[in-house]
């Protein structure tokens, strides 16, 4: 009953946000780099923050450092969605937010390189998650996959309060209802993609630190493969990797190959979920076996990714 009440409350909040966004013209207008062709409300992913807020209040204010960082990240991302802020201001807030997450994860109590590695990984994944938010349903489908995997892991390991993940998933479900459509009611916006990345990374960080096992980073394999290889290609072509573009594989499939966007988004989520299930099967095997599994997985997926992307580019872009 509590979860049902939270779900309905989040649904009402999302609908109220739509009225606010419509009144103040918080919209995404299609341009030459867009994957949509109609004006759509932006920032619907703000519901992820309200899901976290609901947990924070009902839990007796658990994880205050994390929540403060999430609040700062959400506010600055929302303002950036509406006004387009200076990169310096946005990066400063992001930097502070990530440090607050690191504090909550007790990384300051560990050797300095844990903090450095954690900072690089968190910043990189948040930006990748943001850049990958380009077609209907992809943030929704992928977040459901990663969140579901974290729920399964938590049922066995108990690395975080289960309600933290359940409330998060309730927020994702609300967003999915309005976004996973051929004609989306709303997009996540920077506020949504950044917020859900921050939330999932915090949970993933706790999982890795509580088990001491890096294999769980493979819960982000699909986004990682697409983001890393796209960055490598753009760097090789001397392009600005921070500039908006349409050169991810999912964008080629949805825009150039004309594959249904929802099929592309669902595929990303399903493939990631299957990979995660494999990770849960090998996590207790010897370290050498886990390393061999990770290397083989990343090598095979990279080959498949590059093969498909090359074929699509030759057929539709030449």
DSSP string, the chain: -HHHHHHHHHHHHHHHHHHHHHHTT-EE---TT-S--S-EE--GGGHHHHHHHHHHHHTTS-SHHHHHHHHHHHHHHHHHHHH---HHHHHHHHHHHHHHHHHHTTGGGS-HHHHHHHHHHHHHHHHHHHHT--STTHHHHHHHHHHHHHHHHHHHH--S-HHHHHHHHHHHHHHHHHHSSSS-SB--HHHHHHHHHHHHHHHHHHHHHHHT-GGGGGGGHHHHHHHHHHHHHHHHTT--TTS----SHHHIIIIIS---HHHHHHHHHHHHHHHHHHHHHHTTS-HHHHHHHHHHHHHHHHHHHHHHHHHHHHHHT-
pLDDT value of position 36: 45
pLDDT value of position 113: 87
Per-residue model confidence as pLDDT tens digits over 116-127: 988 999 998 998
pLDDT value of position 249: 93
Q: What is the residue-averaged pLDDT of the chain? A: 92
Ranked by mean pLDDT, the top range of 32-46, 105-119, 288-302 is: 288-302
| Residue 138 pLDDT > 90 | yes
Cut 0.85: pTM above it: yes
pLDDT value of position 87: 81
pLDDT value of position 99: 95
| Residue 238 pLDDT > 80 | yes
Of 30 and 158, the one with more pLDDT: 158
Percent of the chain clearing pLDDT 70 (strictly above): 96
């Amino acid at each position: 009953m509590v979860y049902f009440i939270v779900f309905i409350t989040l649904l009402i909040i999302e609908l109220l946000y739509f009225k606010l966004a419509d009144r103040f013209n918080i919209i995404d207008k299609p341009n030459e780099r867009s994957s949509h062709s109609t004006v759509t409300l932006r920032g619907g992913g703000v519901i992820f923050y309200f899901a976290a807020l609901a947990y924070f209040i009902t839990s007796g204010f658990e994880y205050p450092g994390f929540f403060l960082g999430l609040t700062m990240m959400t506010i600055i991302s929302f303002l950036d969605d509406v006004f387009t802020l200076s990169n310096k201001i946005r990066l400063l807030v992001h930097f502070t937010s990530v440090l607050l997450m690191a504090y909550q994860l007790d990384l300051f109590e560990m050797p300095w390189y844990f903090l450095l590695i954690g900072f690089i990984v968190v910043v990189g994944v948040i930006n990748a998650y943001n850049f990958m938010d380009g077609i209907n349903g992809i943030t929704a489908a992928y977040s459901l996959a990663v969140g579901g995997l974290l729920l399964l892991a938590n049922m066995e390991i108990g690395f975080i309060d289960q309600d933290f993940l359940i409330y998060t998933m309730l927020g994702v479900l609300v967003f999915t209802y309005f976004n996973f459509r051929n004609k989306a009611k709303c997009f996540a916006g920077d506020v949504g993609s950044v917020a859900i990345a921050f939330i999932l990374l915090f949970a993933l960080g706790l999982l890795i630190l509580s088990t001491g096992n890096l294999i769980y980073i493979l819960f982000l394999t699909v986004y990682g493969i697409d983001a890393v290889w796209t960055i490598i290609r753009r760097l090789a072509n001397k392009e600005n990797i921070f500039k908006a573009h349409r050169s991810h594989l999912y964008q080629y499939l949805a825009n150039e190959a004309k594959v249904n966007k929802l099929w592309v988004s669902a595929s990303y989520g399903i493939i990631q979920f299957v990979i995660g299930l494999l990770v849960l099967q090998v996590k207790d095997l010897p370290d050498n076996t886990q390393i061999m599994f990770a290397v083989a997985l990343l090598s095979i997926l990279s080959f498949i990714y590059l093969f498909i992307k090359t074929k699509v580019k030759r057929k539709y872009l030449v």
